[in-house]
Amino acid sequence: MAIVGAGQTAFGDFPEKGVKELFAEAYFEMLKSVDKGLDPAMIEAAYLGCLSAGGGFQLGQLAPLLLGYVGLPHVPAVRLENACASGGFALYAAVCAVASGHFKVVLAGGVEKMRDLSGQKGRYWLGVSGDTEYERLAGCTFAGIYALMANRYMFEYGLTRRQLSLVAVKNHRHAVANPKAQFRRAVTLEEAMEGPMVAHPLNIWDCSPTSDGAALVLICSAELAREFTDRPVYVAGFGAAGDYLALHDRADITKLRAARKAARAAYERAGLGPGDIDLAEVHDCFTIAELLAYEDLGFCEEGKAARLLEEGHTSFGGRLPVNVSGGLKAKGHPLGATGCGQACEIFAQLRGQAVEPSRQVPGAEIALSHNVGGSGGTATVFIYRGGS
């Protein structure tokens, strides 16, 4: 399978745009990115990730609504929901559909409209990504869930408040050069450590924002890829997995077993390992989540994630740049669009087309994206190989 086109909106706060307008913006950018042109009539199916579309707007048949809006009313389209991994599972469904041989050209994407919700309603929609009965209704917020994970990791491995803040500092620094990012401003370590507390030990700088946005990628069979572009990006490996939704059901809350299982499947399919990855986009909904990802993806040993970060290995210019887009933390996190937004970033990077040259990872040939649903109840991992 190959990605031959990609498009996404900027992520942020767009009160003048609804889900239709956001989707259309990403769709037409995707069309322009297909070097040799695309006849939209070739698109055989579409899979779109979305959690709430603005607190429940048009959840019934949202996908056909959006396809019709861009002139594709006859394309069979379905909305997928798997919390924050909705976009990743849309991509997974599209890749599986093409891999099966049933379809040759498929659209995968996601859209979310979050900034028009009240704070209370936004917290509700985020909260339902966990166990509603035993977590949300018991008073635990989404930040509170990851705070529990962070506290346990600190207890077991000696992680410090300063090291958590270094994740935010790095990702905000990366986002400065990304024109699609929601927060294009650097943050000092002092600022990141002294932000208002949200759920101890996580302060406001440890938390990704709510965002509006959309992202789309065009998937086709490897045999067709060169008909669309001379620089396809191949999906070399992919995996998806699940786990218990509630933290209290898990044996260890310092590991996301769904992510580990998905990563193993992706590495096995690609015939590659963690040491082969040149750059990665990982799911840093909270700063602790990025550190857990380093270990879940095999980038370092358990308990050594902070060292990998502190030594600069995951910064731009390091041996394994992570979240050069700014990640969810600074690029933004429109839930349903996030997984495909990661694929859009990697598509540009592996084709040497990062919009700002100052953030193009030199010589990158193999990349990975990692998209987590909620606190780890679901996860997808993809491995990509440049085709130039």
- Write out the catalytic residue numbers: 84, 333
- 3-class secondary structure, 77: strand
Cis, peptide link before residue 201, omega less than 30° from 0 = yes
Burial of 55 (0-12, 13-18, 19+ CB in 10 A): middle
Ordered DSSP codes for 197-243: EEETTEEGGGBPPP-BEEEEEEEE-TTTHHHH-SS-EEEEEEEEEE-
CA-based nearest residue to 96, from 240, 304, 209: 240
| Cα radius of gyration (the chain) | 19
- 3-class secondary structure, 386: strand
Question: Helix count (H) and strand count (E) of the chain?
Answer: 13, 11
Six-digit token string for 157:
């491995």
